[in-house]
Amino acid sequence: MLRIRVLAAAIAATMASSLALAQASAPTSRGDVKAETRAAEQSRQLTPAGEGAGPMSKSSANGPATTRAERKAETLRARKEGKLEPAGVNQRGDNETRKMKTTRNRAERKAETAEAQKKRELVPAGEGSPKK
């Protein structure tokens, strides 16, 4: 019975000190936290949502060097001359791959894929590169 009381007292002492330390580091109020967040947002120090590289910072210039009308005219001129790059990152590489002659027919490719699936060598959808 005495052991239980001593154990309970030791646990209470441990909990009390950890609670006191936790309160010292906590923000004072929700309003203070909101004010800090608003100030950081206005000074452009917040990291953008998603996989942002870091806080956004204002550039030294107030905007682009050319006007919108100039950029539109330049794009139209490039389109007429055929100098616009196709949309998408790998568009040019995809077109070059499509133009290549194949060395296997569809049935051979399907058989190869089925074999890779049995060996669990296929990359799951959305996972990028194969596991090594």
pLDDT of residue 11: 72
- Give the confidence band of 26 by pLDDT, cuts at 50, 70, 90: low
Query: Does pTM top 0.75 for this prediction?
Result: no
Q: Sign of torsion, CA 101 107 113 119?
A: negative
- Give the confidence band of 93 by pLDDT, cuts at 50, 70, 90: low
- Distant-in-sequence, close-in-space partners of 66: CB < 8 Å, separation ≥ 6: 74
Average pLDDT over residues 35-59: 74
On the 0-12 / 13-18 / 19+ scale of CB atoms within 10 A, 118 is: exposed
Q: Sign of torsion, CA 102 104 108 113?
A: negative
pLDDT of residue 108: 95
Q: In whole angstroms, what separates CA 128 from the centre of its chain?
A: 14
Q: Is the pLDDT of residue 119 over 90?
A: yes
